[in-house]
Amino acid sequence: MEQKEIQILILVITVIVLILVVTLIFFFFYFQQKKTAYLIKQRETQQQFEEEITKSKLEIQEQALQNISWEIHDNVGQLLSVAKMQLNILQLNVAEEQQSKIQETSEIIGKSLQELRGLAKSLNPETIKNKGLIDSLKLEVDRYNRLNFIKASLEISENIFNLSNEKEIILFRILQEFSNNTLKYSKANTLQFKLNYNDDFLEIFMEDDGIGFDVNDTTKQNGIGLLNMKSRAKLIGAQIKFSSSNNNGTKLYINCPK
């Protein structure tokens, strides 16, 4: 009888221990899930906060560009227009041999006025909203070629579709940033834009034939221009990649969902 009681006691203790172990395991995984969910939530909150900060920065930049555009168009443009009119009036009252020089100066001011207005349009987000991505890029390419900054070209596939205003403005700013870096630093002779419209996404390729840079150089990777482009792309869910090497130019690839 005692032997049987001992066996029952051992069995009961074993069952209790097993229940405790199972309970501990259950609580362990339960709290692990809670911890994981908390960390994920915290990460999502941090990511959302960073996206809001980035969005606010971009909105401030767009407002600043719009203000600069207005200043160029309204103030600088007005001053050049007045200067051109005064030269035209002066031309009527000077000797004939001086008129050609005044006429030449007036034409230079006229061209400057035209280019400033073109620059003002490219800076103003309202222009991009109204014209769209493709027409805005065409204006940029024409401006580069007209001023002999660089030989620029634009290639567009068929099956064109419109993206949202926000996406088109952000994409245009990325391409504008890349172009500005090319003009400032690359010593390139050519700059190519290619837009490839697929069913559900837009692919954008840009390439220059400049001196390039070392993509493994952290000072280049963390430069303001590249960080701006990456931040803008992330905001619209687009993938962005750079490739470059010394004396072999720089390439940009963007994949933006429809």
Each residue's pLDDT, cut to its tens digit, for the chain (258 residues) gives 567 777 777 777 888 888 888 888 888 888 888 888 777 877 777 666 666 666 666 666 676 667 777 677 667 777 777 777 777 777 777 777 777 777 888 888 888 877 787 877 777 788 888 889 999 999 899 988 988 889 999 999 988 998 998 899 999 999 998 998 898 888 899 999 999 999 899 999 999 999 888 777 666 655 667 888 888 898 889 999 988 877 789 999 999 998
Reference 227, options 53, 49, 48, 54; nearest CA is 54
pLDDT of residue 57: 64
pLDDT of residue 174: 92
What amino acid is encoded at 167 in this protein?
Answer: K
pLDDT of residue 134: 93
pLDDT of residue 224: 63
The residue with tokens 């969910």 is 37
pLDDT of residue 73: 67
pLDDT of residue 241: 93
237 vs 159: CA distance, rounded Å:
21
Confirm if 185 and 212 have CB atoms less than 8 A apart: no
228 vs 176: CA distance, rounded Å:
11
pLDDT of residue 97: 72
Confirm if 191 and 177 have CB atoms less than 8 A apart: no
pLDDT of residue 180: 87
Report which DSSP code applies to 197. E
What amino acid is encoded at 137 in this protein?
Answer: L
Is the full-model pTM beyond 0.85? no
Report which DSSP code applies to 107. H
> 221 Cβ partners below 8 Å, 6+ apart?
215
